[in-house]
Structure 1
Amino acid sequence: MPTSLGLFGTGRLGSAIRRLADARDDVDLRWAVGREAASDLEQVDVVIDVSTGPAVAQHLTWARRTGTDLVIGATGWDPALLADGDHGIRVLVAPNFSLGVALARRLSLLLGGYAAATDRDGVAVDLAVTETHHRHKIDAPSGTALALRDALSVGAARHPEDVQTTSLRLGEVIGDHEVTVATALETITVRHTAHDRDLFAAGALTAATWLTTRPAPGLYTLDDLAEDHLKETA
């Protein structure tokens, strides 16, 4: 039985998700809405939200009211919306749907730990995250850049503000993120480059089908999915 899907967001990523979903047998995309209000929508197993930050609050309210699992891929929304912990549904938050980015976040945490150890040895360490996206992207830094910055800062036992974070909006770049630890003696860089938007569309569908298999309502991230994926491939 295919997983039934709904989709909030009909932009570039939403269109890619629709195209890939139509080509798969394990999912059934029942509806996709853009700026329309979330009402009178057919009941589905899970909804993917790749709309805009301001729309997430309404979509989350709708999902809780209807008991529909929700994957939030939009960025620029207030995380306090999930602070009460009383979800009642399965919610997965992913500023980036690439499992490769989830791996880069884990590596950023390790890099931060290395920076902390180096700092304790009396060597000055600089931390930085640089991200580049297409000129149409509104939020800056991107949600992915913030996630990488936070992982690096946690590992390094520093404040996020201590990580130099730079955003560029150039041409039609899909997504490029670099995490850097630098001293006078060496520079270590972890870089993730997305070559095709289908990377994120496929990841969104994987996240949606995975979320419906979780044993209980609650808040999940792509790190949780990546953990399962790494166990399966180990």
Structure 2
Amino acid sequence: MKIALLGYGKMGKTIEKLALQKGHSIVYKSTSNSSEGNITEADAAIEFSSPEAAVNNIQRCLEAGIPVVSGTTGWLNQYDEIIKLCEQRNGSFIYASNFSVGVNLFFSLNEQLATLMEPWKDYNVSIEEIHHTEKKDAPSGTAISIAEGIVKHSEKKSWTLDEATTDEIKITAKRIDDVKGTHVVSYASEVDTISISHEAHSRDGFAIGAIVASEWLVGKKGIFTMKDVLNIK
């Protein structure tokens, strides 16, 4: 498979290394300042750039008929615009706040736990996320996805970084040097606390998941999620 990398920072370089190990080739790569190669040769594009660049990058791929996988967070206020363009162009698109296979299994576990906890009103749910100091958006897209999973199966209506009301989920966002990504969901009562957590040990998990998603997407048309890729019901 010929891959275009839109965003060639730490994640892009990790994807390149692992994609080459799997026998794929990189035909295009770009940063905010430069580009190399020919994007029109790509079978699929993997987009890990910045919130400011993501929408233009995704639009460019969809308009060129290139299936695109995006893991950039912080741009979802324009998500509906991208979905509309994908439908108009009969394109192929996957967005995930986190492409790690483990995290996507964690998302499913989180929803199952939220369903189990819903009748037990003495427990208050909260989320903590910890990332490296270079991460620009807070809370993380992964934490937002976790919160949305809880909202679907509870009486909570939204999340907040501030003090939470009874219908909000409190998210605490911390930034610590070289933390790859930790997410903890806790249900606390006066008598005990139930917690589930996911801790990334390296960027490889995110990169592998993005490559798997792009392999899966080639030859398909439509808007998909990692649940489709991993066949999670």
Paired residue for 1:60? 58
For residue 83 of structure 1, report the CA deviation from its aligned partner.
4.6
Matches within 5 A, 1:128-207: 128-161=126-159, 162-207=168-213
For residue 57 of structure 1, report the CA deviation from its aligned partner.
1.6
TM-score, length-scaled by structure 1: 0.87
Q: Secondary structure at the match of 1:145?
A: helix
Judging changes above 3 Å, is the alpha-carbon distance between structure 1 residues 16 and 184 closer, same or farther for their aligned structure 2 residues?
same
Residue 87 of structure 2 aligns with an amino acid whose one-letter code is: D
Which ranges of structure 1 fall in alignment gaps of 5 or more residues?
none
TM-score, length-scaled by structure 2: 0.88
* 2:123 equivalent among 125, 140, 144: 125
Q: Tell me how many residue pairs correspond in the alignment.
A: 220
Q: Secondary structure at the match of 1:56?
A: helix
Paired residue for 2:164? none
What CA RMSD, in Å, does the superposition of the two structures yield over aligned residues? 2.0
Aligned residues of 1:111 and 1:155 also touching (Cα < 8 A): no
Identity %: 28
Which ranges of structure 2 fall in alignment gaps of 5 or more residues?
160-167
Q: Secondary structure at the match of 1:86?
A: helix
* 1:106 equivalent among 97, 105, 108: 108
* 2:28 equivalent among 21, 26, 31: 31
Paired residue for 1:82? 82
Judging changes above 3 Å, is the alpha-carbon distance between structure 1 residues 191 and 154 closer, same or farther for their aligned structure 2 residues?
same
Instruction: Provide the rounded CA distance (Å) in 2 between the counterparts of 1:15 and 1:158.
Output: 39
Instruction: Provide the rounded CA distance (Å) in 2 between the counterparts of 1:82 and 1:117.
Output: 37
Paired residue for 1:15? 13
After superposition, give the CA deviation of every residue in 1:143-183 in whole Å (9 maximum; x if it has no partner): 00100111012111321231110100011101000111222
Instruction: Provide the rounded CA distance (Å) in 1 between the counterparts of 2:62 and 2:18.
Output: 27
For residue 36 of structure 1, report the CA deviation from its aligned partner.
4.7
After superposition, give the CA deviation of every residue in 1:60-110 in whole Å (9 maximum; x if it has no partner): 221121111000111111323335362521100111111111111111111
Aligned residues of 1:114 and 1:156 also touching (Cα < 8 A): no
After superposition, give the CA deviation of every residue in 1:171-212 in whole Å (9 maximum; x if it has no partner): 110100011122223321110000011111111111110111
Instruction: Provide the rounded CA distance (Å) in 2 between the counterparts of 1:83 and 1:29.
Output: 26
Paired residue for 2:93? 91
Instruction: Provide the rounded CA distance (Å) in 2 between the counterparts of 1:201 and 1:60.
Output: 18
Instruction: Provide the rounded CA distance (Å) in 2 between the counterparts of 1:165 and 1:203.
Output: 25
Instruction: Provide the rounded CA distance (Å) in 2 between the counterparts of 1:180 and 1:69.
Output: 37
